[in-house]
Structure 1
Amino acid sequence: MCDEDFPLMTDTQGSQNTLDGILHAISKCKVQHNQLLKEQQDLSRARDDQEDLANQFRQRVVKLRISLEEDDNNQARDVDSERVSTAAVPEKKVVFTGETGDGANTLNFNVKPHIVYPMEEGTALITFEDEEVAQKILSLREHKVDLCGDCAITLEAKLVQLLVPCQVEMDTEVCSRRILVSNLPKKAGEDRLLDKLEIHFAKSKNGGGEVEESDMLHDSGNVVITFTENNIAKGLTGKLYHDVEFEKGRKHSVKVTPFLNGEITSFQTRLSACGRTVLLTGIPAVMEQENLQDLLEIHFQKTSNGGGEVDAFLYNPLGQHTLALFEEDCPTEDQSQ
């Protein structure tokens, strides 16, 4: 073998060694590639599983939100059903009708105006049939009243303004022991009416139970019946009308509804002017009360003094305390036209 052949054989042997290395490296890369593909598949499956879980979670959140909104709406309806709000109490004109009171019921609230007005000493209230007459008396303001002989007094006419409710809000709840009975017979006396109602609603066959007390609401003509047990009232109100025997052999259908306990949570008032009533001030005690009241009323009835027909008149002399009652002004048909 010559010297020139040895390097060639050496190179050939080296090339074979390098090729084996390359093939081995390629084999290793294939293994790594397969492992990467497997890991990628595992990650892809894990990602899909996470997306499924996320979608399920989002769906549960939507369902939960809808359920919470429904609960809130139901709760709001329940609260609204227990709250009575008179956002705007209709404005009603009031007038002094000539009545007085002792103030015992001044804390009662009624939709129908019934206002107790404490009169100052040396004043008078006068209500005219015509509102225009009252406004004329107010526009003149000062009035000289001749009494007898050379005696005369000067009075001042002032506008009467009263506080009346403009917005009332109440929280109410159904009473578990009481019922409200309405649509009662008008001819029956109060005592007999209460007795018959107690007898009827005390009987278990009528759905009733032991009655603790019954009260007549004179402003509405309805009756409140209170039971000793809590479950009686709810059962009775499930049936709207009940036939009660007030006279032997004759029954009358009464209406039974839940009784509401209420508490005023908001009460707002406004000033309301009395169109037909005028306050006269500065009246001295110069003679007997009846005589002075007659002379004052006669003076303001005369058209020559700017007056007119008088509906009511009340004089409160010095040293006395008087409460005047103002009620809803209900003019006659002629006046309203």
Structure 2
Amino acid sequence: MKPKQSDFFTEPQHRRQQITFTMSSDEDFSLVMPQPSEETLESIKALINNCKKKHEQLIQDQEDLATCRNDQQEMAEQFRQRTVHLTQKRKEDQRLYEEQMENDKAKLKLGQQEERDLEEQILQVEEAIEEEKARNHHLKQQNDVFSAVPERKVAFTGLTGKDSDGQEFDMETNIVYPMEGGTAFITFEEEVVASNILKMQKHEVKVGEDCRITVEARPVHLMLPRLVEIDSKVSSQHILISSLPKMEIEPLLNKLEIHFSKTKHGGGEVEKCEMLPDSWTVTLTFVKNDIAKGLIETEHHDVKLQAKMHRVRVTPFLNGKITNLQTKMTACPRTVLLTGIPTIMDRETLQDVLEIHFQRSCHGGGEVVAFLYNPLGQHTSAVFGGAPKNTDKETE
């Protein structure tokens, strides 16, 4: 603090020095200083001492202020450094917080994905359970069907043997092969003869004294089933009726249709009634789906046949559906396709000429089992498989 100016010059009025001016007539003047008194000197000394003390006090205050200022500056620097440190720490905390948030988001996303995967697995398991239930139900139905098949007496006339001696299930196929005009199928008794005919490829056939034709032999490829899978299920509209007496078919079908069409017998409106003559079993088809099940559960029914009550047996009817069919291309080992046959005479005569030619060993032929010729401009189909030889048919 700056001392006030009045602090240095304020004195009591009675201590002030008086200066006397003396002037003469010739306008000269002289300055007369008053003589200092003892009391005045002491006052001045005291005033000087007082001023020294105040000066010392001011110097001390100035030093204190400088010290305080240095302290404040040091404190301000400490606060500044702390502020910088806190700012850096806040930024680091913000970065760590953002990283933690990203990690939490990633964990949340991963958890959600795992939850979706678990839900999908649960759905797959539930679907598998439903499929297993459906399969068990289907197997139960098949078991019920197999245990409730119509009874039929069978006489075993074969020989017993080991399990390894048993034959595998086989299936005969009938393949309809449409023929082009001017071609013929020839089937030999031996495979080697067909192979020789195919190796020679071109064959010159004499059809008259001065007439010859050239035909070409080609292999015959057929598409045969390699694997057939059939899915069967119990029909909700059909029933099988067995344990029937021997009588005329028409009256039998009429009696059964009348009996099972009545609601008091558990039946309903009948759509179709037909006989399976190979097993003497009748299939009955209802219009509605909910009738067959009740009749099958009852199983045995008393029906008036031939003027008396006869107990018949009602069992399930299976519907089959092909679910898997795999085929393979197979070359016929004994059959050859002849092409390039011109129409130069009637069909039967030309067919005999060709068959005679390929029966002769001098032409590389052999014993002919079947021969079918299709002239130009006509449509003929050949049947390969288990059908008899005379089933080769011709259509206009």
Give the structure-2-normalised TM-score: 0.48
Measured in 2, the distance between the counterparts of 1:303 and 1:248 equals 70
Q: Deviations over 1:238-260 (max 9, x none)?
A: 36677877766696966632332
Greater RCO (CA < 8 Å, at least 6 residues apart): 1
Measured in 2, the distance between the counterparts of 1:311 and 1:192 equals 46
* Correspondence 1:225 to 2:284: yes
Equivalent position SS for 2:291: helix
CA distance 1:320–1:212, change in 2 (3 Å):
same
Q: Deviations over 1:5-36 (max 9, x none)?
A: xxxxxxxxxxxxxxxxxxxxxxxxxxxxxxxx
- Out of 78, 88, 95, the position equivalent to 2:134 is 78
- Out of 238, 261, 281, the position equivalent to 1:178 is 238
Give the structure-1-normalised TM-score: 0.56
> Retained in 2: the 8 A contact 1:239–1:256?
no
Match of 2:317 in 1: 258
Give the greater-gyration-radius structure (CA).
2
Equivalent position SS for 1:293: helix
> Larger helix proportion, structure 1 or 2?
2
> Retained in 2: the 8 A contact 1:138–1:159?
yes
CA distance 1:221–1:136, change in 2 (3 Å):
farther
Q: How do 1:260-279 and structure 2 match up within 5 A?
A: 260=319, 262=321, 264-279=322-337
CA distance 1:251–1:327, change in 2 (3 Å):
farther
> Retained in 1: the 8 A contact 2:235–2:316?
no
Letter in 1 for 2:287: T
- Out of 353, 361, 373, the position equivalent to 1:315 is 373
Match of 1:148 in 2: 208
> Larger strand proportion, structure 1 or 2?
1
- Out of 297, 307, 310, the position equivalent to 1:238 is 297
Letter in 1 for 2:330: S
Measured in 2, the distance between the counterparts of 1:156 and 1:220 equals 49
Match of 1:324 in 2: 382
Measured in 1, the distance between the counterparts of 2:191 and 2:281 equals 36
Equivalent position SS for 1:294: helix
Measured in 2, the distance between the counterparts of 1:330 and 1:321 equals 20
> Retained in 1: the 8 A contact 2:235–2:317?
yes
> 1:293: how far off?
1.0
Aligned pair count reads: 239
Q: Which runs of 5+ in 2 are unaligned?
A: 1-120, 140-167, 390-396
RMSD: 4.2
Q: Deviations over 1:74-124 (max 9, x none)?
A: 6325247659xxxxxx997xxxxxxxxxxxxxxxxxx64122211111101
Measured in 2, the distance between the counterparts of 1:216 and 1:199 equals 15
Match of 1:209 in 2: 268
Q: Which runs of 5+ in 1 are unaligned?
A: 1-64, 84-89, 93-110, 332-337
